[in-house]
Amino acid sequence: MFVLQLFYLQFISMQNLNRIPRKIKIVFFVILILTPRLYSQTQNENINQNNELTIFIIPSLSPIDWSNPRSVFKSTEICFLNVITRKNYYIIGHTIGRISSPLLPAPFFVAMSGKKQTEKPELVMIKKVGFGVMGSTMHGHIESEKSIKRGIELYSKRNKVAYIKFRINEQSVRRLLEFIDRFQKKTIAGFAPCDLYNGGTWPRYENEGSGCSGFGMSLLDVAHLLSPQSKEWSISVKIPMNLIGGEFNNNKKIKFSDILRTKSWYNGTGVEDVDYINYKVYEPNFIFDWILNKRSQNDLDFLPDEENGIPGLIVDRRNVVIDADEPVFLQRTDSDLFVRHYHNRIRSLLNKKTPN
């Protein structure tokens, strides 16, 4: 490009100007103007051909207060009540993945969510399972690309979406695509793992369903992108057993008054799965705030980025090499009450060989 410009300038120097036909002058002038634009366009196309995993984070309608069981119940209740009067809102936040690669004809969007928005309130309000809802299995599905794109667009207008864009290598892309494909295969008596929405499971383990944030974080885990800083994205609490009902506790019904009176998580020296359940979840609100804070910290690893007005971060992880023998899905070696009940249900489905 620079050579063409020099050649043109020399070509139309004052000593030659009067001898050059007008048409030729015009042709060279057009070349001079268009060449930088064409070069820039080519550069942008090359950038867009990078292998990338982008995680979009949408926070809840209003913040979830994890200070204690009472505050979680009341702040979540506010989210549900607010959604009644508003359209097209995710109640407790959402996580969306997008894979861009030369291996794909177009960027690929993927997200896991509950299929029936009424299931969670029914479990708490009608069946009164209390905090057992955290480990209850519900109907789930992989959202349509149309719905995902529409959600990102809507939340962008509300300034309620942020992202982290990871530049990755081709090996990581292939692992991600294999993970997503197998997560949607119906291998559990007519069900696929994505059909089973559960906040207490981890989809990297074979045949386990997921919540929305767990699925988004599992994409990072498959590609070895979960850094130590991701500990700031999660909440870990000990849920008192007296606040867990339903199948996990002899079908006990939990009264709202019992939850509202409980102003601390379990902090005794009791027995796990008898006196309390250890519960961990990735919290979209934490991740959203972390992204916005990180943008102003001059971090040399996570750099500020912006896409269509959406604030984000970009980080280079193209040097990550994964052992070729590492399976995409792992075998679980630990367990808790929520997970055991989930796998009991899976075994029951496999024995029946018919959907429940």
Q: Are residues 69 and 179 in the same domain?
A: yes
Structure tokens at 224: 């070895």
- pLDDT tens-digit series, residues 101-127: 999 999 999 999 998 878 888 999 999
Residue showing tokens 């990581």? 172
Give residue 336's region: left, alpha or beta (phi > 0; psi -120 to 50): beta
Residue showing tokens 């002058």? 25
Q: Please tell me the least confidently modeled range out of 6-10, 47-51, 304-308, 331-335.
A: 6-10
Q: Are residues 144 and 25 in the same domain?
A: no
Structure tokens at 314: 């970009």
CA–CA separation, 140 vs 123, rounded Å?
A: 15
Q: Are residues 143 and 85 in the same domain?
A: yes
Structure tokens at 86: 């508003």
Q: Are residues 137 and 85 in the same domain?
A: yes
Q: Are residues 131 and 279 in the same domain?
A: yes
CA–CA separation, 235 vs 31, rounded Å?
A: 58
CA–CA separation, 122 vs 281, rounded Å?
A: 21
- pLDDT tens-digit series, residues 139-171: 999 999 999 999 999 999 999 999 999 999 999
Q: Domain residues for 57?
A: 48-352
Asked if residues 88 and 61 have their Cβ atoms less than 8 Å apart, the reply is no
Q: Which residues contact 80 (CB under 8 A, 6 or more apart)?
A: 91, 121
Q: What is the mean pLDDT of residues 130-135?
A: 96
pLDDT score recorded for residue 81: 77
Q: Are residues 203 and 277 in the same domain?
A: yes
Q: Are residues 88 and 17 in the same domain?
A: no
Q: Are residues 301 and 194 in the same domain?
A: yes
Helix (H) or strand (E) holding 196: strand 196-197
Q: Are residues 117 and 193 in the same domain?
A: yes
Q: How many residues does the chain have?
A: 356
DSSP string, 87-154: SS--SS-EEEEEEE-TTSSS-EEE-EEES-TTHHHHHHHTS--BGGGGG--EEEEEPPHHHHHHHHHH
What is the share, in percent, of the chain residues with pLDDT greater than 70? 83
- pLDDT tens-digit series, residues 282-295: 999 999 999 999 99
Q: Are residues 18 and 103 in the same domain?
A: no
**Helices and strands (H and E) in the chain: how many:** 10, 11
Q: Are residues 34 and 52 in the same domain?
A: no
Q: Are residues 14 and 78 in the same domain?
A: no
Number of domains in the chain: 2
